[in-house]
Amino acid sequence: MDDCLQTLADYGLRSIGIGERLLPRTDFTFCQQVVLIGSGMIWNVYFAILALGVGFFLATAVALGKASDTWLIRKPSEWFIFVFRGSPLFIQFFFAYFFFLSLKGPYPFFDAFTSAWLGALVVLFLNTAAYSGEIFYGALRSIPKGDLEAADAYGFSGWSKFRKITWPTMLRLAWPAYTNEAIFLFHATTLVFFTGFPALQQRGDALYYANYFADRTFNPFIPYPILAVYFILFTLAIIALFGAINRRLNRHLPNEARARMRLKPNIIR
């Protein structure tokens, strides 16, 4: 037990470079695997929160753009969504990494983009913006037209109509699908360190460490189940959080009219 506390102190924050420098090399204990993989989860959570948080706003903008009547706004939005939804995230990561790498030469400004914390974040951000943009666009098109007519009748227009009527209704309709998207994105964060982005000084995410242990011990039956348990726990946390928001978005509706949260199995993007 004391051993394990010591391991926790040594490796608890290993993934962000605090604590013991060397990873364990031989005699891997169960505790070490749990602690290190858990430490890697910091990165998964970091990528998921920031990409979703910032991506949300771009997604709204893209959804509005795709629903726009102006050709000049609609086409770029459609293409943005098509490019990011139509190609594998894996290839996007690779392309972005080498793209930033080649920009780095002439412009030192792009130095930070070649490391995972920023470069991969940008890719995840754009990717989730495209996927959620499509979800929001679908929701935007299925807003009951009675709601919008009622808003017109009450004298809402422009920004206040969007802010008070269109946007909340869009979110309410999109929320169950958006919850699934959040879960997909969270799972997609595991791809980061398997593409070009280097794990400097072996600071990687949960899957990076799980893979490290599986490679060293030739025994996949311990690290991967640990990883699975972590991911299931965090997925449940996401479901709880988004469920609470869903209840708030639907609080004005009678019980039976509320949108149910339906969870779909996660799928690679």
Partner 1 sequence: MGFYVSFGTVLLLLAITAPSALLFGFAGAAAARSQVLPLSLLGKGYTAIVRGVPDIAFFLFFVIALDQAFEWVRHRVLCPDWTEPIRQGNDFIVCAQAKLPLGNAPQWIHETYGFMLAVLTFSIVFGAFAANVLYGAMRAVPRGQLETAEAYGMTERQTFWRILVPQMWVYALPGLSNLWMVLIKATPLLFLLGVEDIVYWARELGGIATPQFTDYPHGDWRMWYFLVLLIFYLAFTRVSEIALDRLMVRLSHGQATAAGEAQRKAAA
Options 34, 36, 51, 89; binder of partner 1; rule CB under 8 A:
89
**Residue 58 C-beta-side C-alpha neighbours within 13 Å:** 18
Which of residues 6, 87, 142, 160 is near partner 1 by CB under 8 A? Answer: 87
Q: Does 187 bind partner 1 (CB under 8 A)?
A: yes
User: What does the chain come to in residues?
Assistant: 269
Q: Exposure pattern of 216-250 as b/e (b: 16+ CB <10 Å)?
A: eeeeeebbbebbeebbeebbeebbeebeeebeebb
| Residue 107 binds partner 1, judged by CB under 8 A | no
- Choice between 95 and 156, CB closer to partner 1: 95
Name the token pair of 95. 């392309």
The least CB distance from residue 255 to partner 1, in Å, is 25
**Binding residue for partner 1, selected from 48, 191, 199, 249, defined by CB under 8 A:** 191
Alpha helices in 67-115 (DSSP H): 71-86, 89-104
Q: Could you tell me which of 89, 46, 65, 78 has the C-alpha nearest to residue 186?
A: 46
Q: Are 60 and 136 in contact (CB under 8 A)?
A: yes
- Span from 61-69, 136-144, 163-171, 188-196 in contact with partner 1 (CB under 8 A): 188-196
User: Does 115 interact with partner 1 (rule: CB under 8 A)?
Assistant: no
Whether the CB-CB separation of 269 and 130 falls below 8 Å is answered with no
Instruction: Name the burial class of residue 42, with classes exposed (0-12), middle (13-18) and buried (19+) by CB atoms within 10 angstroms of its CB.
Output: middle
Q: Does position 46 bind partner 1 by CB under 8 A?
A: no
Nearest CB to partner 1, comparing residues 40 and 55? 40
Distance (Å, rounded) from C-alpha 239 to C-alpha 246? 10
Number of residues lying near partner 1 (CB under 8 A): 45
Q: Which amino acid is at 228?
A: A
- Among residues 92, 127, 128, 166, the one that binds partner 1 under rule CB under 8 A: 92
d(CA 81, CA 224): 33
Asked if 228 touches partner 1 (CB under 8 A), the answer is yes
Candidate ranges 2-10, 57-65, 114-122, 207-215; the one touching partner 1 (CB under 8 A): 207-215
Q: Which residues contact 263 (CB under 8 A, 6 or more apart)?
A: 179, 180, 183, 239
Using CB under 8 A, which of 172, 214, 242, 249 touches partner 1? 214
211 binds partner 1, rule: CB under 8 A: yes
Exactly one of 101, 118, 148, 261 binds partner 1 (CB under 8 A); that residue is: 101
Rule CB under 8 A: which residues touch partner 1? Answer: 26, 28, 82-83, 86-92, 94-95, 98-99, 101-102, 187-188, 190-191, 194, 207, 210-211, 214, 216-221, 224, 227-228, 231-232, 235-236, 263, 265-269
